[in-house]
Structure 1
Amino acid sequence: MKLPDKIDQIKSYLIQNDFPEEIEAAIILGSGLGDFSTTIDEPFSIPYNQIPGFPHTTVTGHSGELFTGTTKGHKIIAFSGRFHHYEGHPLETTVLPVHLAKAFNAKKLIVSNAAGAINTRFKVGDLMVIDDVFRIFQKVAPAVSQPYRYNLGPVADKVRSIAASIGLEVQRGTYLYAKGPSYETKAEIRAFRVMGTDVVGMSTAPELIEASRLELPAAAISLVTNMAAGVLNQKLDHSEVKAAAESRKDDFAKLVTELIDRL
């Protein structure tokens, strides 16, 4: 399937600057999860603002660097920061990491995010494997509006099995994609719970849908960084994201490392 012309240009620039020509896996690191980059062997990075044709990221918790190196001997690239639709980026731009992963012939894509828990059985710090996505009243661009052709369920089963083998307990459930940037209201969260969703966030769904279109195998993990509006009687605060990510950064890194090697 044809990729946007600028993807070849970006890939050529990266290869000229010591990136490999092919990789095993690409990882998109969500808010507060950029510390995974410190676990990469022989890391090398380029700031987004130095890559021709690359957008910038403006969100707290996203450093805005593209890393390469190896993990368990596998060549990888890792996006420390993503491009959200609510920042003003068109949906075609939000899926640029997926396009670049495909251009580098990645065998797998691992997507992560920070999310708010709708499911009252979840708690802050939980890692949840996404086995389905839900888009509520969202307009999507033609490039990311193709049928969702593969089922995340079997992938979620395998991720949970791998997690269990290294002593990690993970949840699984449905991720609700909301445009943002405002948090959802209490009434909306009550409605989303009735609809059967488990966590809510402002990314990931376009990336998974585009990976499906490109037939790029993908797994997705949410870190529960806060309880959604109305679940607890307290004000939502972005600082919660940093605290929750700090508490689980080692477990997250262990899991992603194993997924790169075994998924």
Structure 2
Amino acid sequence: MSHSVEVYAPQNWTVEQWNFVVWSEGAPSNTFGRSYATADWLLTQTAVRPLVGIVCGSGLGGLADLLKDQVAFNYRDIPNFPQSTVHGHAGRLVFGTLKGRPCVCMQGRFHLYEGYPIQKITLPMRIFKLMGVETVILTNAAGGLNQDYKVGDIMIIKDHLNMPGFAGNNPLAGPNDERFGVRFPCMSDAYDRELQQLAVDVGTELGYRDFLREGVYCVLGGPSFETIAECRMLHKLGADAVGMSTVHEVIVARHCGMRVFALSLITNQAVMDYDSEEKANHEEVLQTGKQRAEQLERLVSTMVTRIEYNNNYS
């Protein structure tokens, strides 16, 4: 195992003790044990020691194809890993280098609406941490609530509204494992401001300012798209875009002490008018992803080369 994992391991534990923690029903350290075992398994299968973890949203899996010297695993072949069930999510974990930087990329993520417990859909974030990842970059497809947004805009997420969390559905609910983070983590700095500024700078250099935005992302449970009344309410609450992912991963990543940067690709305009004939649909989401994917990939890959590593972020 790499040093980044060993710092979390209890001293003098035997393999039998680890196996007990991983597989015992109801063991208090079960999540840590499963995360540790999976990270250990992955690191024995590849020489890449990733510093950046990238999560690809609907239609945005092409980011992983940019990695050089790839070592890829289907989710179904990874111990303890959930399975992606959504069209547009390939379901692969890809290791490699992006312009010389060691990375791991999720081609497809997991959602509440797939029926997984919230702790399971965020398990990859803890596995990232135990593999040595310092910075997490998340992308998603989202509906635009801000009336100034256009389909194809890229929104830098500066903050979020966690609607499932208002009802107590938070990935940190239950016993806290201090090996990952504190009981009550701060979320006012969930999205790293330096990385937001870096995205603006890189986007300006690449000529993307006409479609690069900054805004607030709201997560809902899904899988049904929002009603008109819901869209109007969320917009009044301050949300610029709405989707069904990302926020839960952000909370766990920050709990683990990783830096977080996130982007939304605005793939449809949320319906806000009862006279409108428009209807949200998943095919439109995937099509917009294809059209803008190359530019989004260039933005992210350029950012990765400029991120500074080996700092103590918390």
- Please, what TM-score do these two structures have when normalized by structure 2? 0.79
Deviation of the 1:52 alpha carbon: 1.3
Tell me the distance in 1 between the aligned counterparts of 2:222 and 2:236: 20
Partner of 1:78: 105
- Identify which of 7, 14, 17 aligns with 2:35: 7
**Alpha-carbon displacement from aligned partner over 1:47-87 (angstroms, at most 9, x marks no partner):** 00011111101011101000011001011000001111111
Q: Which structure has the greater CA radius of gyration?
A: 2
- Aligned-residue sequence identity (percent) comes to 32
Contact preservation (8 Å) 1:118, 1:227: yes
Tell me the distance in 2 between the aligned counterparts of 1:10 and 1:47: 13
Tell me the distance in 2 between the aligned counterparts of 1:149 and 1:5: 29
Partner of 2:293: 249
Are residues 1:167 and 2:195 paired? no
Partner of 2:25: none
Moved more, 133-142 or 95-104: 133-142
Contact preservation (8 Å) 1:28, 1:97: no
Are residues 1:206 and 2:245 paired? no
Contact preservation (8 Å) 1:132, 1:153: no
| AA of the residue aligned to 1:98 | M
Tell me the distance in 1 between the aligned counterparts of 2:285 and 2:205: 27
Tell me the distance in 1 between the aligned counterparts of 2:72 and 2:197: 33
Secondary structure of the structure 1 residue equivalent to 2:157:
strand
Tell me the distance in 1 between the aligned counterparts of 2:145 and 2:50: 36
Contact preservation (8 Å) 2:190, 2:254: no
Secondary structure of the structure 1 residue equivalent to 2:172:
helix
Deviation of the 1:149 alpha carbon: 5.1
Tell me the distance in 1 between the aligned counterparts of 2:219 and 2:172: 17
| AA of the residue aligned to 1:198 | D
Dislocated runs of 4+, deviation >4 Å:
none
- The total of aligned residue pairs comes to 262
Deviation of the 1:242 alpha carbon: 1.3
| AA of the residue aligned to 1:252 | L
Tell me the distance in 1 between the aligned counterparts of 2:248 and 2:268: 22
- Seen in structure 2, the aligned counterparts of structure 1 residues 9 and 110 have a Cα distance that, compared at 3 Å, is same
- Seen in structure 2, the aligned counterparts of structure 1 residues 19 and 100 have a Cα distance that, compared at 3 Å, is farther
- Identify which of 40, 45, 65 aligns with 2:92: 65
Partner of 2:79: 52
Tell me the distance in 1 between the aligned counterparts of 2:168 and 2:86: 22
Partner of 2:161: 134
- Identify which of 18, 42, 48 aligns with 2:46: 18
Deviation of the 1:236 alpha carbon: 1.3
- Seen in structure 2, the aligned counterparts of structure 1 residues 141 and 191 have a Cα distance that, compared at 3 Å, is closer
Tell me the distance in 1 between the aligned counterparts of 2:103 and 2:279: 38
- Seen in structure 2, the aligned counterparts of structure 1 residues 83 and 142 have a Cα distance that, compared at 3 Å, is closer
- Identify which of 251, 261, 270 aligns with 1:219: 261
Aligned ranges 1:144-159 → 2 under 5 Å = 146-148=185-187, 150-152=189-191, 154=193, 155-159=195-199
Structure 1: segments with no counterpart, 5+ residues: none
Contact preservation (8 Å) 2:217, 2:243: yes
Structure 2: segments with no counterpart, 5+ residues: 1-6, 9-30, 174-183, 308-314
- Please, what TM-score do these two structures have when normalized by structure 1? 0.94
Tell me the distance in 1 between the aligned counterparts of 2:188 and 2:239: 20
